[in-house]
């Protein structure tokens, strides 16, 4: 089945530690995104990539990093510089842009601080 797979489902971070969230898609989509979801707030864009080997900062990129070495993969690293990392992280992808494209989301990763 085509879709987006995020792993792990739950992740715990110790202070000063970097952690990496995995996102893989087999939908053959060019564009991929990372969003952060906090209770009572709308989704906020962390990073996005419209093509392999290229990515752009979103609204809240500080303390995060990404790579896009393969079309199928868009991992997100939460660095120790991110002082409030506890949140639900959603990866998404979309087909070639035409203005009406919808986002296909993964099932999310809940990151908590120990």
Residues that bind another protein (CB under 8 A): 4, 31, 40-45, 50, 90, 92, 97-100, 102-103, 105-108, 110
Please choose, from the candidates 53, 42, 35, 52, the residue with its C-alpha nearest in 3D space to the C-alpha of residue 89: 35
State which residue, 48 or 64, has the beta carbon closest to another protein. Answer: 48
Task: Tell whether the torsion through CA atoms of 81, 47, 30 and 27 is positive or negative.
Answer: positive
State which residue, 75 or 108, has the beta carbon closest to another protein. Answer: 108
Q: Least distance from C-beta 66 to another protein, angstroms?
A: 17
State which residue, 78 or 92, has the beta carbon closest to another protein. Answer: 92
Q: Are 105 and 90 in contact (CB under 8 A)?
A: yes
Identify the burial level of 54 via C-beta atoms within 10 angstroms of its C-beta, where 0-12 means exposed, 13-18 middle and 19 or more buried: exposed
State which residue, 36 or 71, has the beta carbon closest to another protein. Answer: 36
Q: Least distance from C-beta 16 to another protein, angstroms?
A: 28
Q: Least distance from C-beta 15 to another protein, angstroms?
A: 26
Q: Output DSSP code: residue 100.
A: -
């Amino acid at each position: 089945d085509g879709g987006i797979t995020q792993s792990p489902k739950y992740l715990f971070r110790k202070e000063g530690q970097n952690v990496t969230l995995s996102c893989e898609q087999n939908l053959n989509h060019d564009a991929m995104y990372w969003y952060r979801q906090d209770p009572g707030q709308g989704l906020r864009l962390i990073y996005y990539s419209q093509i392999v080997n290229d990515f752009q900062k979103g609204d809240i990129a500080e303390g995060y990093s990404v790579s896009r070495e393969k079309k199928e993969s868009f991992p997100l690293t939460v660095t120790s510089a991110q002082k409030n990392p506890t949140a639900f992280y959603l990866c998404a992808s979309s087909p070639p842009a035409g203005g009406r494209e919808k986002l296909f989301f993964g099932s999310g990763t809940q990151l908590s601080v120990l």
